[in-house]
Amino acid sequence: MLDIIRPDDRRYADLRHVYTATGAPAAVVRPRSTAEVVEALGFARDAEGPLSVRSGGHGISSVSTNQHGTVIDLSRLDTIERVGTDSDLVRIGPGARWGEVAAALYPDGPGARTDHRPRHSGGARHLGRQRPRTGQ
């Protein structure tokens, strides 16, 4: 069942704002699967207001919240998995944070070197376009 948080929900205060912006969306939708993302998009379309998509909420552009619209919060889509046992390729969900990615990929090693802080999300801007640099 799709998790929809509205202003009267006790969780709303923690979800309405992002790192660089104050928001007051009519609803924050938190999908847990691809199917629920599709459902969330339908919900947002039917709501006919502004739509914002959030991965970790640390984007400096402040577009991951809005006023009186729908926010689709992808933070629960935080899987980190290697693609094959002998592969350098990984699949990282849009809600995964860089500290979690480094810990999952290098549990005993130096970690993934990126220009992001550990609590920041990789987000959609990185997915499918680039991989974190790795090194000693």
Q: Kindly give, in sequence order, each residue whose CB lies less than 8 Å from that of residue 81, ignoring residues fewer than 6 positions away.
A: 90, 91
Q: Is 111 exposed, middle or buried (0-12, 13-18, 19+ CB in 10 A)?
A: middle
* pLDDT at residue 6 in the model: 97
| pLDDT higher than 70, residue 134 | no
Q: Beta strand 90-92 with 80-82: parallel, antiparallel or unpaired?
A: antiparallel
pLDDT band at 108 (very low <50, low <70, confident <90, very high): confident
| pLDDT higher than 90, residue 25 | yes
| pLDDT higher than 70, residue 37 | yes
Give pLDDT tens digits for 44-76.
999 999 999 998 766 677 788 899 999 999 999
